[in-house]
Amino acid sequence: MNEKQRLQRIIDENIELAEEGHIPSQQAIINAQADLDRIAQSETEALDFLISCTPLPDSNILVI
């Protein structure tokens, strides 16, 4: 199980109690979602870096 799946499982396991007002469950969901957001941001930054390092195609292509 990877980190994103583990965090999603925490959310899934705590959602019912959180909706009923259980503070520890609400906090567990908030923390797990914050971690998922950080992972998503990190993945986006990594992808942006890879895209910025990718050379553009040759602009001298003749289209007929």
At residue 40's C-alpha, the angle toward residues 6 and 47, to 5°, is 130
Whole-structure pTM value:
0.72
Q: What is the pLDDT of residues 16-45, one digit of tens each?
A: 999 999 999 999 999 999 999 999 999 998
- Note the residue count of the chain: 64
Q: Mean pLDDT throughout 1-17? A: 95
Contacts 24+ apart (CB under 8 A), 1-7: 3/35, 3/39, 4/36, 4/39, 7/32, 7/33, 7/35, 7/36, 7/39
pLDDT of residue 62: 64
